Amino acid sequence: MSSAYLIGAQRRTGAASFTGIEAATGKALDGDFAITTADDIAQACALAGAAFDAYRETTPEARAAFLDAIAAALEARAEAIVARAMLESGLPQGRLNGELGRTTGQLRLFAKVLREGDWAGAIIEPALPERQPLPRPDLRARQIAVGPVAVFGASNFPLAFSVAGGDTASALAAGCPVVVKAHPAHPGTSLLAGEAIAEAVAACGLPEGVFSLIQGPGNDIGTALVANPHIKAVGFTGSRGGGLALIAVAASRLEPIPVYAEMSSINPVLLFPAALAARAEDLGRAYVGSLSLFAGQFCTNPGVVVALDSPDLDRFLGAASEALKGVAPQVMLTGGIAAAYARGIETLSGADGVAVLAAGPDGDAQCGAARLLAVDADDLLSNPALTHEVFGPSSLVIRCKDAEQIVAVLEGLEGQLTATLHIDEADYPLAAPLLPILERKVGRILANGWPTGVEVSRSMVHGGPFPATSDPRTTSVGAMAIHRFLRPVCYQALPDALLPDALKAGNPLGLPRRQFD
């Protein structure tokens, strides 16, 4: 008997199944997982549609309690979830324990956001019947949920960007039912997390269509999910090709819908002269630690470094090269990702003007070996493809002749999630003119750190211009992520009895409201 997927409160098993794969060996794990049928995908979406109006009008406190209940249910399954995720992802126990904590933490953050109430965007402009030359009617506005959301699990975060991750948490907080397409590399992890959410749905007395989990390899399941007319928005973290394919499906519907896709980023790091002069070796070692962390499988991995050519840059590269030679090969998330990384390194290292400065030891086919490469800005500017993402533990250092060439390199980059400045006070005059360029190119600018840590907070922006994301106005991490799944509605001259509670005269929900004369 194959393991079930979750269609609302119902556990279903299909005739076809697939197996989980152990990331470290490439071998099949015990247990089969049922592939969701087309009929069950349609039923999951229909249940979500049927649940929508009731769920979106639950009180903020009820939804907050639901998110808290999911977090508690995940923690009750922590040992089993982490054990299975270790097998399916190849990530170590400590990393996955931390990721589970991040997952429950962001669920509880959105519970706090709901209780604070600013997300509702309640605005009241009372009627001005005596205003000249025309009276003003009573006008009130609030944010409401957009509808059922399709969420796609990510390969590199089997917990925090997957079944119970940030897209699911923010959509549920907004009042949107969610249908999750589990990543096929994590079927067991996904089912355990999905069961935790289903348990919370039942415990909180919510409609069963608030959550469903569908499973299976290939593209057909995801395409059918996004094409279903009940689905009103999509959350996706993955490759540029995968994101663009879903965007095409969503745009071709009779009712096109938004796809909030986080896709591709190389996260430039700028090294400034005074900072290099003061601590080149320390920066080189820290850089290798960031680019190789967990086999470089982060969307914020520092994929390129930009700096003026100088003896201090040589010091940085010498320290980085020595550090990188000691980076052991690490298991990558899937065999496909490992193979794509190997192809990307082969293409990049064979390009004109690119030199391999250092290489970590090679491993087996499931592993990614660290690589440090360098190129002169002249060669890079004549071949922009050199800045395409290679997902894994590698990075390219770009040597620039002068400040004008740094500007040219930055202007030629695509949209990114992050940019990092390593600066001392003496570098401020050189750095200041670059900030407007970086603001146009990235979603987060940081100084004297490394981009591979993303705080889950109210001010965090984990987004950026295309192809970092499909909509640069949004973030997939932090409290502002809820706004992807809300839209404004204005109520003109409605009697108080017909207004939603968020806008009634007595403010029964106790929401913060902006009132204008």
One DSSP character per residue, 488-515 reads: EEEEES--GGGS-GGGSTT-TT---EEE
Give the count of beta carbons closer than 10 Å to the beta carbon of residue 158. Answer: 32
Whether 470 contacts 485, CB under 8 Å: no
Residue 244 lies in a domain: yes
Kindly give the interhelix angle for 220-227 and 38-56, rounded to the nearest 10 degrees.
40
Domain count within the chain: 2
Residue 74 has pLDDT above 60, yes or no: yes
359-414 pLDDT, tens per residue? 999 988 899 999 999 999 999 999 999 999 999 999 999 999 999 999 999 999 99
Q: How far apart are CA 306 and CA 319, in angstroms?
A: 16
Whether 265 contacts 299, CB under 8 Å: yes
Residue 508 lies in a domain: no
- Reported as half-sphere exposure (CB side, CA atoms, 13 A), residue 425 has a value of 0
The yes-or-no answer on residue 299 being catalytic is yes
Give the count of beta carbons closer than 10 Å to the beta carbon of residue 243. Answer: 24
**Same-domain pairing of 346 and 368:** yes
Residue 134 lies in a domain: no
- pLDDT band, residue 517 (cuts 50/70/90): confident
- Tell me which amino acid residue 65 is: A
Q: Kind and range of the H or E element at 420?
A: strand 416-422
**Same-domain pairing of 250 and 305:** no
Omega within 30 of 0 (cis) for the link into 133: yes
296-312 pLDDT, tens per residue? 899 999 999 999 999 99
The yes-or-no answer on residue 490 being catalytic is no
Residue 101 has pLDDT above 70, yes or no: yes
- Reported as half-sphere exposure (CB side, CA atoms, 13 A), residue 452 has a value of 20
Helical residues (DSSP H) of 351-402, grouped into ranges: 377-381
**Same-domain pairing of 234 and 215:** yes
Residue 340 lies in a domain: yes
Residue ranges making up the domain that contains 332: 269-447
Average pLDDT, integer, range 206-220: 97
Average pLDDT, integer, range 120-125: 98
Residue 516 lies in a domain: no
258-297 b/e (C-beta count within 10 Å ≥ 16 → b): bbbbbbbbbbbbbbbbbbbeebbbebbbbbbebbbbbbbb
Q: What is the three-class DSSP state of 408? A: helix
Give the position of tokens 């394919």: 245
Whether 398 contacts 377, CB under 8 Å: yes
491-511 pLDDT, tens per residue? 999 999 999 999 999 999 999
Q: Going by C-beta distance under 8 Å and a sequence separation of 6 or more, which residues neighbour residue 13? A: 1, 2, 3, 4, 5, 34
- pLDDT band, residue 2 (cuts 50/70/90): low
Query: Percent of the chain scored above 70 by pLDDT?
Result: 100
Residue 27 lies in a domain: no
Average pLDDT, integer, range 156-177: 97
**Same-domain pairing of 110 and 39:** yes
Q: Which of 22, 262, 389, 414 is catalytic?
A: 262
- Nearest by Cα to 383 from 402, 394, 398, 403: 398
Burial of 110 (0-12, 13-18, 19+ CB in 10 A): buried
Q: Which of 299, 367, 389, 400 is catalytic?
A: 299
CATH number of the domain bearing residue 106 = 3.40.605.10
Q: What is the pLDDT of residue 47?
A: 98
CATH number of the domain bearing residue 366 = 3.40.309.10
Residue 310 lies in a domain: yes
**Same-domain pairing of 275 and 170:** no
- pLDDT band, residue 452 (cuts 50/70/90): confident
Distance of CA 300 to the CA centre of its chain: 10
pTM recorded for the entire structure: 0.96
Residue 137 lies in a domain: no
Residue 193 has pLDDT above 70, yes or no: yes
Whether 370 contacts 360, CB under 8 Å: yes
Q: What is the three-class DSSP state of 143? A: strand
**Same-domain pairing of 174 and 256:** yes
- Tell me which amino acid residue 122 is: A
Q: What is the pLDDT of residue 1?
A: 39
**Same-domain pairing of 202 and 339:** no
**Same-domain pairing of 249 and 298:** no
**Same-domain pairing of 288 and 409:** yes
**Same-domain pairing of 157 and 234:** yes
405-443 pLDDT, tens per residue? 999 999 999 999 999 999 999 999 999 999 999 999 999
36-53 pLDDT, tens per residue? 999 999 999 999 999 999
How do beta strands 269-271 and 513-515 pair? unpaired
Mean pLDDT, the chain, as a whole number? 96
Give the count of beta carbons closer than 10 Å to the beta carbon of residue 504. Answer: 14
**Same-domain pairing of 181 and 58:** yes
**Same-domain pairing of 255 and 306:** no
